[in-house]
Amino acid sequence: MKVKRAATIHDGSVYAEQLANVFAETFKKNGGTIVAQEAVAPTDTDMKPVLTKIITAKPEFIYYPIFVAAAGHITRQVKEVSGYEKVALMSADGAYSVDFYKAAGESAVGMYHSSPDFEAFGKVYEDFLQKHLKKYGEKTLAPFHAHAYDAANLIFNAIKKVAKKEKDGTLYIGRKALRDALYATKNMKGITGTINCNEYGDCADPRIAVYKTGVENIKTLVMPKKSFWKP
């Protein structure tokens, strides 16, 4: 995109603030300038004051990795503040949902989100989608469905290793034993990739893509052939 001037907005959560900070650090390392770093509350509805403040710094790009409600207000109200006509907008997976698109409306057309790269998951993921559709009669509803499926199986596998059943049928699952079994997971074949956990409980095989919102997403709010979550 060749933008040189960017601004960030977070909502006070550790998740959003850390994403915004890492974005800012990386953007500066790559030669860009961070012209503003602002914050809103998750319950804020009037975003014009912060948007007006940011635009005076003349950003070319705004990154706000926050959640559905606040992100929807920002995205919609950007169109009501002069100067944003050519400013690119980007959020993250916290706002990558059908509810966000319903809240933001046509203002979201052209904006970007980072989220799991579904096309990197392969045939086993395609099989999962078909089985989900057959069983529940609807397609997946949110971007972390594949990760949720793998996380559940990771827990189930750990329970099988450490659970103890008494003669009366009582099942005991020790907290520490379960945690240790989870953290010891190696080479688990999931639908999101090969899962290996470290000593801190990080287990993901991160495969992230950037998605650009098209007009068809806003008009239909339904999932196209593969998934709603399509680049």
The pTM for the full model equals 0.82
C-alpha distance from residue 205 to each of 127, 151, 158 (Å) = 19, 12, 18
Judge contact between 185 and 195, C-beta under 8 A. yes
Q: Judge if 106 and 127 occupy the same domain.
A: no
Terminal-residue alpha carbon distance, the chain: 16
Residue the block writes with tokens 């998934």: 227
Q: Which whole number is the average pLDDT over 47-60?
A: 97
Q: Judge if 135 and 113 occupy the same domain.
A: no
Q: Judge if 19 and 106 occupy the same domain.
A: yes
Give residue 215's pLDDT: 79
Q: Judge if 213 and 186 occupy the same domain.
A: no
Nearest to 112 by CA among 96, 89, 133: 89
Q: Judge if 104 and 23 occupy the same domain.
A: yes
Lowest mean pLDDT among 25-34, 81-90, 100-109: 100-109
Q: Judge if 113 and 173 occupy the same domain.
A: no
* Mean pLDDT of the chain, nearest integer: 91
Task: Please tell me the total number of residues recorded for the chain in this structure.
Answer: 231
Q: Judge if 60 and 113 occupy the same domain.
A: yes
Residue 54 belongs to a domain: yes
Q: Judge if 16 and 107 occupy the same domain.
A: yes
Q: Which whole number is the average pLDDT over 188-211?
A: 90
Lowest mean pLDDT among 56-65, 161-170, 171-180, 201-210: 201-210
